[in-house]
Amino acid sequence: MTTKIFIDGTFYEKSEAKISVYDHGLLYGDGIYEGLRCYSGYVFQMKEHLNRLKRSANSLRMKLPYSVEEIGEYILETLKINKLQNAYIRLLVTRGVGNIGPDPKTCKNTSLIIIVEDLPNVHGQSVKEIGLSLVIASTRRDAVDATSHEIKSLNYLNSVVARMEANEYGADDAILLDPRGFISESTICNVFMIDNDKLITPSASNGILQGVTRKIIIEIARELSMDVEQRDITPFQLINANEVFLTGTHAEVVGVTRINNIEISNGKIGEITRKFIHKFQERTLDSTFSTPVYKNFNKDK
Ligand code: PMP
């Protein structure tokens, strides 16, 4: 079966799914996106993702082409038409077709694109066992008063350049520092460290994406009665942490065992990280956090 892609109310075969070269999403990166995941026929944290989409749109004065509820329905429809139960869902809203110049006033209608794919494991199974090797990139995250990563926009050049640096060094991914030199996030994940049984993560106020997975990890930590600190982290503190892990919808929770080729603790995925991996997996399979794609869908079938 070929993949069917949703564009503005119509489903297209993958080879036919195209947008105009005058779409400002392409010309200027003027657009926003969300990445969601469907586990066993249930879309995980759909409302959280759609609310974030709305916040991204709002900050760019972008009118969504449909209501959040309608977009939710289209996500479910796209999964159904593609007969998928375990999937990665990519949702894009572009500014739409306009003149060659960057002024969004020339764009009449925003466009909604939904791509769903059978889910490959982002980092591969072996990385889940061995842990990631990261480098701290020389490229900095944008400042909070620039187009920061709080907006989940189509402009990921900052991450792309950092990822290329990681590739150059043979690492799995890169961590970016904020303009002051503190840890911000990886190219597509939020960063956590464990120090003396405390969970520490960069504050949501330093221009990072406020990850849906990040929020869940903080909730799980509170359930486990762990202290949680959201604060500045220096590269020195991260490298010398007891444990480090990354979180994201696509990557889930993944341990970090090397930074700049220096082993984190004993170079193995830590006990507390494993606990978070396990607790997070439990949540992804708990239907109270999800929206069913198929009515009367029986998870055990
Ligand atoms: N930071 C960045 C830059 C990202 O692209 C992502 C992935 N969406 C994340 C963090 C993790 O966010 P979430 O847990 O919502 O997927």
Closest by Cα among 231, 206, 207, 235 to 218: 231
Distance 1 CA to ligand 1 centre (A): 30
DSSP, residue by residue, 23-61: BHHHHH--EEEEEEEEETTEEETHHHHHHHHHHHHHHTT
Closest by Cα among 124, 234, 134, 201 to 174: 134
Burial 88-124 (b: 16+ CB within 10 A, else e): bbbbbbbbbbbeeeeebeebeebbbbbbbeebeebbe
Does the reported pTM lie above 0.90? yes
Q: Is 186 in the pocket of ligand 1 (CB under 6 A)?
A: no
CB atoms within 10 A of CB 283: 18
From 188, 208, 219, give the residue whose CB has the most ligand 1 atoms within 8 Å, as the site to mutate: 188
Q: What domains can be seen in the chain, in order of their start residue?
A: 4-118 (3.30.470.10), 124-284 (3.20.10.10)
Closest by Cα among 231, 140, 133 to 177: 140
From 249, 254, 284, 289, give the residue whose CB has the most ligand 1 atoms within 8 Å, as the site to mutate: 249
Residue with tokens 């507390």: 272
Distance 247 CA to ligand 1 centre (A): 7
Q: Strand locations in the chain, DSSP E? A: 4-7, 10-13, 31-39, 42-44, 87-94, 111-118, 132-140, 173-177, 183-186, 190-195, 198-201, 228-230, 243-248, 252-259, 262-263, 290-292
d(CA 198, CA 87): 33
Residue with tokens 């889910």: 119
Check if the beta carbon of residue 183 is closer than 8 Å to that of residue 234. yes
> What is the ipTM, given to two decimal places?
0.99
Overall residue count recorded for the chain in this entry = 301
Distance 75 CA to ligand 1 centre (A): 19
d(CA 96, CA 191): 33
Task: Give the pLDDT confidence of 172-212 residue by residue, as tens digits.
Answer: 999 999 999 999 999 999 999 999 999 999 999 988 999 99
| Beta pairing, strands 252-259 & 262-263 | antiparallel
Please name the residue whose Cα sits nearest to atom 2 of ligand 1: 188
Q: CA dihedral defined by 160, 165, 167, 171, rounded to 10 degrees? A: -110
Report the SS3 class of residue 94. Answer: strand
Per-residue pLDDT of the chain (301 residues; tens, 9 = 90+): 789 999 999 999 999 999 999 999 999 999 999 999 999 999 999 999 999 999 999 999 999 999 999 999 999 999 999 999 999 999 999 999 999 999 999 999 999 999 999 985 555 566 778 999 999 999 999 999 988 889 999 999 999 999 999 999 999 999 999 999 999 999 999 999 999 999 999 999 988 999 999 999 999 999 999 999 999 999 999 999 999 999 999 999 999 999 999 999 999 999 999 999 999 999 999 989 999 998 655 544 3
Q: Is 249 in the pocket of ligand 1 (CB under 6 A)?
A: yes
